[in-house]
Amino acid sequence: MNILWVTSERVDPQSGGIARVTYLLAEGLAGKGITSYSTYLRRNDGIQSPSKVFEQEILIDGEDHVCQYSNILTLYKIDFVIVQGGYSEMNKELMCLRESINLQARSIPLYLVFHSMPGYELYFLDWPILIRKIFSKEWKEYCKQFILQTIMLMNKKLLQKQLYQKYRIPYQIADKVILLSSSYIEDFNSLARGKDKSKYVSIPNMLTFPIIEDEGLSASKKKEVLIVARMDERSKRIKLALQIWGKMPIRLLDEGWILTIIGNGEDLAYYQNYVKSNGIKGILFEGCKDPRPYYQEASVFMMTSSYEGWPMTLTEAMQNGCVPIVFDSFKAVYDIVNSGKNGIIVTNNDLNTYIRELVRLMDEDEYRNKLAQNALIDSKRFEKEHVINLWVELLNNDKHH
């Protein structure tokens, strides 16, 4: 069986998000005798050598994408095409691929994997962030965005129409739309105004690190709260996390508790200045680092995102016994965290409860250690082999049809 993976950028196993998921899926399916090919729209200059998991990596450039895809489908005898994304750019590729498949003498199932929360676009309508960026050094980049979003805010019908077109295309063109949680099916279908819910399949993201056991777990933990995220205020709301940390009792900081922030992005300098100007103590900005050693040492994982699809940082933290505390700003959080058992879920924007629960996690060692052990055990539901088997089952079912 041969699969063609279609991504916006060349797959880099060292990067996060879609690229890492694609690489791990191709790697896992190779162990099941399934061969993967990769096509991408943009080069990644950081990747010097071909991937070991793809038989071929092919750049799709120029104007005639239909012809290029048709040649690839024929030459490599492709059995399935999987488009990774769910953004407008990938909708164009979906249409090209459908046309290419229609030119083939045989049926080739076409899947779209939607990697975010359906309707996440609504969370980009954030006035304070836009206004701040208008007055930044990069103001030219944001003027167009500011104007467009002002128009959309004033005309909800325009926004709804744009979202309908965006979600309707994959619904109509793909044979299957694969979502990260079954809780997203209703939202996606509503935006696409679909009627056939049998087109949807839910498969979660897999754990990205090897499974570890609990032996000596609590002994290795430090008085450390951890954030691993892209420094992007619109989606990650790190400022909210900083405000929450600023409310921590002084006695906890005196006991040695710190907040460590891993990640880089356009808003990093803004966060550093915010911490400095507000005199918030006990925060370390570590930049872009391998997060695994931090997961292993930190006791609590903090997430304040305005939306997520299926955040791998959340399951990565749990598989390392780092207890998550997270807002319920996305439905899939209930697939991952069982509040009070393996982590804490707080009603979105309820800062007082978030502060109270975070203080309790830092204060009560026995309670925190119990949640950590449960998180580590429960995260095994998402281990690589299990997720790969879900994919193999899907592929086999559609192949036989």
For residue range 313-350, list pLDDT tens digits in order.
999 999 999 999 999 999 999 999 999 999 999 999 99
Check if the beta carbon of residue 343 is closer than 8 Å to that of residue 361.
no
Question: Residues 332, 223: one domain?
Answer: yes
Question: Residues 272, 328: one domain?
Answer: yes
The answer to the question of residue 273 being in a domain is: yes
Q: What is the pLDDT of residue 14?
A: 75
Q: List the structure tokens of 58.
A: 């092919």
Query: What is the C-alpha separation between 131 and 142, in angstroms, rounded?
Result: 9
The answer to the question of residue 306 being in a domain is: yes
Check if the beta carbon of residue 313 is closer than 8 Å to that of residue 290.
no
Cα separation values, 148 from 95, 162, 361, Å? 26, 12, 43
Query: What is the C-alpha separation between 272 and 231, in angstroms, rounded?
Result: 11
What is the β-pairing status of strands 80-85 and 54-59?
unpaired
The answer to the question of residue 141 being in a domain is: no
The answer to the question of residue 279 being in a domain is: yes
Question: Residues 304, 276: one domain?
Answer: yes
Q: Facing residues of 80 across strands? A: 3
State the residue for tokens 């998991």.
53
DSSP label at residue 281: -
Residue 369: CB atoms within 10 Å: 17
CATH of the domain at 276: 3.40.50.2000
The answer to the question of residue 159 being in a domain is: no
Query: What is the C-alpha separation between 24 and 5, in angstroms, rounded?
Result: 12
Question: Residues 201, 314: one domain?
Answer: no
Say which residues have a Cβ less than 8 Å from residue 51's Cβ, sequence separation at least 6.
11, 13, 23, 26, 38, 57
3-state DSSP assignment of residue 249: coil
Amino acid at 263: G
Residues of the chain with pLDDT under 70: 16, 47-49, 86-87, 123-160, 214-216, 218, 400-401
Query: What is the C-alpha separation between 174 and 82, in angstroms, rounded?
Result: 9
Residue 387 lies in domain = 2-115+164-205+383-400
Q: Element (H or E) spanning 319, and its range?
A: helix 312-319
Q: Facing residues of 110 across strands? A: 81
Q: What is the pLDDT of residue 234?
A: 84
For residue range 186-221, list pLDDT tens digits in order.
999 999 999 989 999 999 999 988 777 765 676 789
pTM, entire model: 0.88
- Among residues 329, 337, 338, which one has the least CA distance to residue 309? 329
Total number of domains in the chain: 2
Q: List the structure tokens of 204.
A: 């979660």
The answer to the question of residue 143 being in a domain is: no
Q: What is the pLDDT of residue 220?
A: 80
Q: What is the pLDDT of residue 147?
A: 64
Question: Residues 186, 37: one domain?
Answer: yes
Q: List the structure tokens of 287.
A: 């930049």
Q: What is the pLDDT of residue 137?
A: 54
Check if the beta carbon of residue 141 is closer than 8 Å to that of residue 113.
no
